[in-house]
Amino acid sequence: MASPKTTYTCNACGATSPRWLGKCPGCGAWNTLVESVAEAPAAGGKNRLGATFSALAPSSEVRPLAAIEAVDVARTPTGQGELDRVLGGGIVEGGVVLIGGDPGIGKSTLLLQAVDALQRAGLPTLYVTGEESGAQVALRARRLGITGSQVAVLAEIQLEKIIATLADQKPAVAVIDSIQTVYSDQLTSAPGSVAQVRECAAHLTRWAKSSGCAIVLVGHVTKDGQLAGPRVLEHMVDTVLYFEGDTHSSFRLIRAIKNRFGAVNEIGVFAMTERGLKGVSNPSAIFLSQHAQPVPGSCVLVTLEGTRPMLVEIQALVDSGGVSPRRLSVGLERDRLAMLLAVLHQHAGVATGDQDVFVNAVGGVRISEPAADLAVMLAITSSLRGKALPKGFIAFGEVGLAGEVRPAPRGQERLKEAAKLGFSVAVVPKANAPKKADKAFEGLTIHAVERVDEAMALVRGLD
């Protein structure tokens, strides 16, 4: 049987060529021709995939939105509480999840633990490995303490054989590790190319939607930290997760970037142990340094990751600089640090123009919300003065260019988290101060401020 013909299509103008060219013959753009399967002549108006795959969603007649019944999707817990939190409660039937991360970060370990827990809960599962042999997967399972597991394992990289196995086994959850190793016979390019990744992911997504099987795709990342392959890969799937962390540290963070069935920007925290990844129920404890006494340049921030308030220690070091002082931040935006130093000088009279300023978020966590502004400025001022902030001190709030302290979202939940962990002094925006007494804030003295200079004067009075 003759293999399907392939053509090369320009990403810029859509022109086609029977062979690859460096320059598009249509628009003249360079390196824009991408291999794709040539469509066969339509018979009776049918798409070439119409006889094999159904649509991503069942077709229906036109109806008003108010007449369509909104039904909550059923979720199946994976046995990993932190993973369920990021997914929005668990695996969704027919959902497609894409998880990416650096090599060796623990993607395969986490998914092997999850499919084993699902299998022990009575769900049929399939683990497809394209990077390892079945013996290597069994060796990892033994290393993680997984014994007697009945998870079906398939070592295969050809898409057609994988889909045939899915049709035969009919699993409720299938893991493809990884999508960059899978190839289709319909294309002549190598596994991992843009065309192969796009075509294989599209076929697997259609299979998941038509069969109701939840599929988890493992994706490689580039040296820039982005998922390798075409950007359309992230658009096709329902959920995109990023596995983050330093391989030299035992803690891992898993973050939701996209989730059609739940909230985004949720975060799950894991600890890597000899028996695999274990969820951390109280992540605030790992992001706080254990100082016997308060030290200069340290301020605790109550940040918000999705729906979870977390306490993170912000450390600052101000040192005498040279002709061109350095501004370095780890875990926070560098440009925002420069802006905060300018506001600190203009509205609080604290000059750091001839000083090196280094700011770090402890524990390797990345903070992108502006509510960290006030804590960063207080940590910098503390280091510059050489005086530590009071014991049990926390702060949060956004700082504007006019020197005002703006409220942070869900301030009451942040304060309750701080009070629960035993903190005693809080400096917060005035709009976030509790309007009435609450037992949840017992033991926490809350100081509300409106401007940066007011916050600095208040902290000096607390020494």
Whether pLDDT at 268 is above 90:
no
pLDDT for the residue numbered 51: 47
DSSP class of residue 363?
A: G
Among 329, 313, 326, residue whose Cα is nearest residue 352: 326
DSSP class of residue 421?
A: T
DSSP for 167-222, please give it: HHH--SEEEEE-GGG-B-TT--SPTTSHHHHHHHHHHHHHHHHHH--EEEEEE-B-
Rounded to an integer, the average pLDDT of 162-184 is 94
Among 246, 372, 408, 384, residue whose Cα is nearest residue 319: 384
Among 123, 230, 227, 219, residue whose Cα is nearest residue 180: 219
pLDDT for the residue numbered 29: 87
Per-residue pLDDT of 8-58, as tens digits, reads: 888 877 788 888 888 988 888 898 888 887 755 544 444 444 444 445 555
Task: Considering only residues 98 and 222, tell me which one the structure prediction assigns the higher pLDDT.
Answer: 98
Whether pLDDT at 217 is above 90:
yes
Per-residue pLDDT of 95-119, as tens digits, reads: 999 999 888 888 999 999 999 999 9
Whether pLDDT at 403 is above 80:
yes
The phi-psi region of residue 265 (left if phi > 0; otherwise alpha if psi is between -120 and 50; otherwise beta) is left
Lowest model confidence (mean pLDDT) among 273-277, 312-316, 362-366, 448-452:
362-366
Rounded to an integer, the average pLDDT of 432-458 is 89
For residue 320, whether the previous peptide bond is cis, meaning omega lies within 30 degrees of 0, is no
pLDDT for the residue numbered 300: 94
Per-residue pLDDT of 358-402, as tens digits, reads: 999 987 778 889 999 999 999 999 999 999 999 999 999 999 999
pLDDT for the residue numbered 430: 93
158 within 8 A of 192, measured Cβ to Cβ: no
Confidence of residue 308 (pLDDT cuts 50, 70, 90): confident
Whether pLDDT at 249 is above 80:
no
Q: Which helix (H) or strand (E) holds 304?
A: strand 298-305
Rounded Cα gap, residues 216 and 204, in angstroms: 10
Among 403, 409, 411, residue whose Cα is nearest residue 454: 403
pLDDT for the residue numbered 387: 93
Supply 422's token pair: 């035993």
Q: Is 141 helix (H, G, I), strand (E, B) or coil?
A: helix
pLDDT for the residue numbered 442: 84
For 95, residues 6+ apart whose C-beta sits below 8 A from its C-beta are 208, 214, 215, 238, 239, 260, 261
pLDDT for the residue numbered 104: 86
Mean pLDDT of all residues in the chain? 87
Per-residue pLDDT of 58-106, as tens digits, reads: 567 898 988 888 888 889 999 899 999 899 889 999 999 999 988 888 8
Can you give the pTM of this predicted structure?
0.74
To the nearest 5 percent, what fractions of the chain are helix, strand and coil? 30, 25, 45
